[in-house]
């Protein structure tokens, strides 16, 4: 395949972790006979410095013309005092909306080699866990009608949750398709004992499930899910849930892996073009020091191969290389807690992963 990838390196550690990922993708290209053309565009603080705005039109047009988008991270103290519409983070909402991305895939994987990083006790995480959270990204209470009014007790504020059958159906399909590429189990999380939107959610998910007889589906109430994630995370394969529940549960799930530098994510829409990025920020405290962990971004590159281009063997190869490097005991500083182990730099960790792809 010949693929055009837009690179949004962004700020802080963004450029170094994206560069590492480009090296890994080029290696995959050589090995499997694909060619990748990478075109960089400005986003975030570096775009503000160069053009006065966090998301220049050229960036949006470049992403729309690409086959997929790889993002590092945006933001940093230099731009923290700018007004809201000029903040680097504003560019993230803008680019997701311009690309029509309504699904967020957030894997939370605890590698057995990193089980000591998890705040959960050994007996719960001994075998690791591997969860994929599929979160609806553009609907629900974050986008519903809201406002202030005078009520029985004076001033009050309100937010409303609204979900259409179409919005639920399309996110459910993403979850079932993702499950087909994994362990074929979907748990749909809602609050159907209280919320009308959740009752429509539950009904619609089960209607969609009829098209996926090879995938098992069950429901879980969100309060129970919050408990089950820390009690028995291994029971989850794919979770599908609404915007707000997904926001909260995906942060809980990432915390129980214990290592922010390891977790990739994907935002998807109706086309095969997605946006792939690590879940962490621009880490200004370590930017430019060759200390950052590139794995979350490298795994985001693997997700791009799997979800945008259907290159399963290629994605597997990257994930296996990461597994091997960790099992061999190599660590960057953020995941290095053993006094006897010298942490690797960003470049050294990248080299280790590349050598496992030989």
Find the binding residues for ligand NAD in span 290-329 (CB under 6 A): 292-293, 296
Is residue 210 part of the annotated active site? The answer reads: no
Exactly one of 49, 61, 80, 251 is catalytic; name it.
251
Question: What token pair was written down for 354?
Answer: 């590349």
Is residue 130 part of the annotated active site? The answer reads: no
Does residue 238 interact with ligand NAD by CB under 6 A?
no
Question: Where does this chain touch ligand NAD (CB under 6 A) — which range of 48-56, 168-176, 236-244, 289-297?
Answer: 289-297
Q: How far is the CB of 196 from ligand NAD (least distance, A)?
A: 33
Question: What token pair was written down for 77?
Answer: 């103290």
Q: How far is the CB of 54 from ligand NAD (least distance, A)?
A: 11
Q: How far is the CB of 43 from ligand NAD (least distance, A)?
A: 9
Q: Which of 62, 233, 246, 261 binds ligand NAD (CB under 6 A)?
A: 261
* Strand, helix or coil for residue 289: coil
Is residue 117 part of the annotated active site? The answer reads: no
Q: Which is nearer to ligand NAD, 279 or 354 (CB)?
A: 279
Exactly one of 78, 142, 181, 323 is catalytic; name it.
142
User: Would the CA dihedral through 20, 24, 30, 33 be positive or negative?
Assistant: negative
Number of shown-chain residues binding ligand NAD (CB under 6 A): 21
Separate counts of helices (H) and strands (E) for the chain: 12, 12
Task: Give the CA distances from residue 315 to residues 16, 273, 287, 356, in Å, rounded to whole numbers and listed in that order.
Answer: 21, 16, 28, 14
Q: Measured between alpha carbons, how far apart are the two ends of the chain, in Å?
A: 20
Does residue 281 interact with ligand NAD by CB under 6 A?
yes
Find the binding residues for ligand NAD in span 34-93 (CB under 6 A): 73-76, 89, 92
Q: Which is nearer to ligand NAD, 163 or 276 (CB)?
A: 276
Is residue 214 part of the annotated active site? The answer reads: no
Does residue 136 interact with ligand NAD by CB under 6 A?
no
Among residues 237, 357, 257, the alpha carbon closest in space to that of 302 is found at: 357
d(CA 303, CA 316): 9
Contacts of 86 (CB under 8 A, 6+ apart): 48, 53, 54, 79
Exactly one of 49, 80, 159, 223 is catalytic; name it.
223
Please give the sequence-ordered ranges of beta strands (E in DSSP) within 122-232, or none if there are none: 129-136, 146-151, 154-159, 185-190, 216-221
Catalytically active residues, by annotation: 142, 191, 223, 247, 251
**Which residues form the interface with ligand NAD (CB under 6 A)?**
13, 73-76, 89, 92, 260-261, 277, 280-286, 292-293, 296, 334
């Amino acid at each position: 395949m010949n693929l055009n990838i837009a690179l949004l390196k962004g700020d802080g550690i963004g450029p170094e972790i994206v560069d590492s990922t480009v090296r890994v993708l080029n290696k995959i290209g050589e090995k499997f006979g694909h060619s990748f053309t990478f075109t960089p565009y400005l986003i975030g603080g570096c775009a503000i410095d160069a053009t006065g705005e966090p998301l220049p039109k050229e960036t949006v047009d470049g992403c729309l013309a690409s086959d997929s988008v790889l993002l590092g991270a945006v933001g940093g103290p230099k731009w923290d005092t700018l007004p809201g519409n000029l903040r680097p983070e504003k560019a993230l909402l803008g680019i997701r909306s311009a690309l029509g991305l309504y699904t967020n895939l957030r894997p939370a994987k605890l590698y057995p080699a990193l089980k000591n990083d998890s705040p959960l006790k050994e007996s719960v995480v001994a075998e690791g866990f591997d969860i994929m959270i599929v979160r609806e990204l553009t609907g629900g209470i974050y986008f519903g009608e809201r406002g202030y009014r005078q009520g029985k007790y004076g001033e009050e504020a309100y937010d409303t949750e609204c979900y259409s059958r179409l919005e639920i159906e399309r996110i459910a399909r993403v979850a079932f398709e993702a499950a087909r590429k994994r362990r074929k189990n979907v748990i749909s999380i809602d609050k159907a004992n209280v919320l009308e939107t959740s009752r429509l959610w539950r009904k619609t998910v089960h209607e969609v499930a009829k098209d996926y007889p090879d995938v098992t589906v069950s429901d879980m109430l969100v309060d129970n899910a919050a408990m089950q994630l820390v009690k028995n995370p291994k029971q989850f394969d794919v979770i599908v849930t609404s915007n707000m529940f997904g926001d909260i549960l995906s942060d809980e799930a990432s915390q129980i892996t214990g290592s922010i530098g390891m977790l990739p994510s994907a935002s998807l829409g109706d086309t095969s073009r997605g946006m792939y990025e690590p879940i962490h920020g621009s880490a200004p405290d370590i930017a430019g020091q060759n200390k950052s962990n590139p794995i979350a971004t490298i795994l985001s590159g693997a997700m791009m191969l799997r979800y945008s281009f259907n290159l399963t063997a290629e994605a597997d190869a990257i994930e296996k290389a990461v597994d091997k490097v960790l099992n061999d005991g190599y660590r960057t500083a953020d995941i290095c807690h053993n006094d006897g182990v010298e942490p690797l730099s960003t470049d050294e960790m990248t080299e280790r992963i590349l050598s496992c792809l030989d």
